[in-house]
Amino acid sequence: MKPNLIPFLAILLLLAASLACSWQAVPAVPTSTPVPLQTPVHQPPALPSPTPLLQRQVVCAAWLNVRSGPGYEYPATASLAYLSPIEATETQVSLDGGQWGKTQDGWVNLRYVCPPQEQGK
């Protein structure tokens, strides 16, 4: 080895030894935990507010299913015969655009009802 390289290596060894003795672990810095965002929930479109019916109507079809809710996706709970009277207390538009009336027995499609004087047209 060259004579001028020995002092350099000695200094380098002393520096490494002093760093090793004085090295301390750095304390962990607390960080905030990210708050998960809420996943948006799909909401079906809002149905129009119920509209009261002002007149008594009758079934204009051979028969009409009474359903448990305002739409074809609800099960039929009863059937009404031709010219059966219907008193709907409110109406709603279903998701497919059909107009439904609520009776004391359930929901009927208002496409198949009419005022008493218009039956058979």
Domain ranges within the chain, ordered by starting residue: 57-118
This prediction has a pTM of: 0.53
Beta carbons of 109 and 60 less than 8 angstroms apart: no
Beta carbons of 98 and 73 less than 8 angstroms apart: no
- Encode pLDDT of 60-116 as tens digits: 999 999 999 999 999 999 999 999 999 988 999 988 888 999 999 999 999 999 987
3-class DSSP state of 8? helix
Beta carbons of 89 and 103 less than 8 angstroms apart: yes
Nearest Cα neighbor of 56 from 34, 16, 28, 84 is 84
- Encode pLDDT of 11-67 as tens digits: 777 767 666 655 566 677 777 777 777 776 666 665 555 555 546 889 999 999 999
The CATH superfamily holding the domain 57-118 is SH3 Domains (2.30.30.40)
